[in-house]
């Protein structure tokens, strides 16, 4: 098929590259000339394992091209995916300006029947708004489809190529058939293609992310109770996860969720529920718990040292999760802000997110080239992101580099008894 993907952010670029990998002719459109020039050279503006190789291969085989000219992409496409950002507005709602602008420009460029697909995460009712915008701009026949993405950063290629499910919101049988044909190669192993109305499809992404965020916040609350009563959250978590009704996913305690999806989608779901005069009280609690949890390690540091002024704190991990450079809503941000406000010096290391961190903190903190370099003269190490390279470090070398052997582990990477036997003072989340 001939496809246009408008927006070369995380979702659009992954979708475009994966569609091209299955033999489709894909044009990716973006209004940022610098980003398009970068992509035309085979470079990508984000870190996602496997994506750069996929882009280069499909560019070389001329199945994947990049342009700033939206009309060019639309006129040769049977299906146009809208994959632009929907940032959170001041009231918590998703800002649809970019989505509706693309819909308007797409309508003006169409030259025949076209399927316009909302791939961006959008609130319920967006498909109807897009349909109204397009009708005002063209007499050509078209269909609007909702096709939410369910990608995990760090595993996006795998998730797209081998999805758990494909959700398609479509009222037009012709459009539904085209979408099923497009996704057929991705679902050969039995993943269901779920056809439904557009409002239901639009709600699916929000409901899934809200459920996952709820599990995370719930387990963080359990961990905090464990600390209060002297229980071990690892033992509790394993027992809970053994219940087949619950399972083990998203039950690891930590320092709160972040990234581009969970915080934004929870806020948006709260907003559009409130617009319909419904108070989503569980999600209100999830959001409040998450905000508190991001400061959990700061409170532990203050409890150990008292005043933090003049202390040198090493931080391992800046991205909100491993295998990405994304720091949107990352727990490291409020932690570092709190440390700086308390007068502490921060020296941080992350394998991929240092460049992003510099755009946030500038010269307020020190950026180490290696995990060990971050430890030099440190009064404490704080582990925020569970990168694999942090799992089995040289503890003897660490102890020699640090001013005092103190570790606050926000991801429960180490065995408490073993690390204390190495001479460290060690505090984790929800464990004695």
**Residues assigned a catalytic role:** 261
SS3 247: coil
CA 159 to chain centre: 13
- Residue in the block written with tokens 């320092």: 255
Question: Closest Cα to residue 282, out of 372, 376, 361, 218?
Answer: 218
**Which stretches of 306-348 are DSSP H helices?**
332-341
Residues 6+ apart with CB under 8 A from 417: none
The H or E element containing residue 27 is strand 25-29
Bridge partners (DSSP) of residue 196 are 169
d(CA 82, CA 61) in angstroms, rounded, equals: 24
Interior/surface letters 370-397, b for 16+ CB within 10 angstroms, e for the rest? ebbebbeebbbbbbbbbbeebeebebee
d(CA 112, CA 54) in angstroms, rounded, equals: 31
Phi/psi class of residue 294: alpha, beta or left (left: φ > 0; alpha: ψ in -120 to 50)? alpha
SS3 76: coil
As given in the structure block, the two tokens for residue 49 are 């394992």
d(CA 338, CA 118) in angstroms, rounded, equals: 39
Burial of 3 (0-12, 13-18, 19+ CB in 10 A): buried
The answer to whether 429 and 254 are in contact (CB under 8 A) is: yes
d(CA 353, CA 50) in angstroms, rounded, equals: 17
């Amino acid at each position: 098929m001939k496809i246009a993907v408008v927006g070369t952010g995380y979702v659009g670029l992954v979708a475009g590259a994966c569609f091209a990998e299955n033999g489709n002719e894909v044009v990716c459109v973006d209004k940022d000339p610098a980003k398009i020039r970068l992509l035309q050279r085979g470079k990508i503006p984000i870190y996602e394992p496997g994506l750069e190789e996929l882009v280069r291969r499909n560019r070389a085989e001329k199945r994947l091209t990049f342009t700033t000219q939206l009309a060019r992409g639309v006129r040769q496409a049977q299906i146009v995916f809208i994959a632009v950002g929907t940032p959170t507005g001041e009231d918590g709602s998703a800002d649809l300006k970019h989505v509706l602008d693309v819909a308007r420009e797409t309508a003006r460029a169409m030259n025949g029947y076209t399927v316009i697909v909302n791939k961006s995460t959008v609130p319920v009712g967006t498909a109807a708004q897009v349909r109204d915008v397009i009708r005002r701009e063209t007499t050509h026949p078209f269909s609007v489809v909702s096709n939410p993405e369910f990608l995990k950063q760090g595993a996006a290629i795998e998730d797209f190529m081998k999805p758990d499910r494909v959700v398609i919101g479509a009222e037009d049988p012709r459009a539904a058939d085209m979408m099923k044909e497009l996704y057929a190669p991705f679902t050969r192993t039995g993943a269901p293609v779920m056809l439904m109305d557009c409002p239901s499809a639009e709600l699916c992404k929000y409901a899934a992310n809200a459920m996952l965020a709820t599990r995370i916040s719930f387990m963080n609350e359990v961990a905090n109770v464990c600390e209060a009563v002297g229980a071990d959250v690892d033992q509790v978590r394993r027992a809970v996860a053994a219940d087949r009704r619950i399972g083990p996913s998203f039950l690891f305690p930590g320092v709160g969720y972040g990234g581009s999806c969970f915080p934004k989608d929870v806020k948006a779901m709260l907003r559009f529920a409130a617009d319909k005069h419904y108070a989503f009280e569980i999600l209100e609690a999830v959001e409040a718990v998450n905000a508190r949890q991001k400061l959990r390690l700061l409170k532990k540091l203050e409890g150990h040292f008292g005043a933090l002024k003049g202390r040198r704190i090493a931080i391992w991990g800046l991205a909100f999760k491993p295998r990405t450079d994304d720091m949107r809503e990352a727990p490291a941000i409020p932690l570092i802000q709190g440390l700086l406000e308390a007068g502490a010096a921060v020296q941080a290391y992350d394998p991929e997110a240092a460049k992003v961190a510099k755009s946030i903190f500038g010269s307020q903190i020190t950026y180490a080239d290696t995990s060990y370099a971050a430890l030099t003269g440190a009064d404490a190490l704080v582990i925020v992101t569970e990168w694999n390279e942090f799992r089995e470090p040289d503890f003897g070398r660490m102890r020699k580099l640090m001013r005092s052997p103190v570790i606050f582990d926000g991801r429960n990477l180490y065995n408490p008894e073993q690390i204390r036997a190495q001479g460290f003072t060690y505090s984790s989340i929800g464990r004695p």
